[in-house]
Amino acid sequence: MGDYDKKISTRKLVLQKVGIINLDGLYQNMQRWFYDNLYYFDEPTSRIRPGTAAGIEYEFKWSAWRRVNEYVKYNIKVFFHIFDAQDIEVIKDGKKVKLTKCRLKIEIDGDMEMDYTGMFGKSRFGKMLYNVYSLFILKEERVMSVWWDELYYRIYKLQTIAKEYLDMEAKGNAYYDMY
């Protein structure tokens, strides 16, 4: 009997845009989603590099996690890479607004961590129990695929929120009310 992975990854979602963007608003809008959905949020890396004559380069890494139950935990990682950033002032509705002209790339990735509390332990017997539990109980009930689907749709919803804020697609999507 083979060992089951304790981390099951989702597909990475990538978003790219070139243009004038309200980075502060995008940042706050996406960060609010994590708090509204009860994720523990952390920003481990925030880096500003002197760029080229075209502008400055920024990198932000976010990580967030949420307990589903005592056996499963969702982890979401977001990576912002901003190239050639230049701050500009635009008059919008009679007010001066500070925006950023840049190239933006956002990568959203997630994984589902099984037995994150280590309740099965690291012994051979514990690993055997983990494999039996994963193979016969969770796989048979298709519980693992339900958890994976929920995590994927949550990540998809986060990407949709970013796209809507950046006016990259029509408002909403077919899966907006999932989970």
**Residue pLDDT tens, the chain, 179 long:** 345 567 888 889 999 999 999 999 999 999 999 999 999 999 888 888 887 788 899 999 999 999 998 888 999 999 999 999 999 998 888 889 899 999 999 999 999 988 888 888 778 888 888 888 877 777 755 666 788 889 999 999 999 999 999 988 766 666 666 66
- Is position 11 within any domain? yes
Is position 53 within any domain? yes
pTM: 0.84
Report the C-alpha gap between 152 and 156 in whole angstroms: 6
DSSP state of 26: H
Question: Does residue 171 form part of some domain?
Answer: no
* Sole residue written with tokens 């519980």: 143
Answer yes or no: is 45 within a domain.
yes
Residue 174 resides in a domain = no
For residue 61, tell me if it sits in a domain.
Answer: yes
Let me know if residue 119 belongs to a domain.
Answer: yes
The answer to whether position 22 is within a domain reads yes
Q: Cα Rg for the chain, rounded, in angstroms? A: 20
Domain count, the chain: 1
Structural domain including 126 reads 7-165
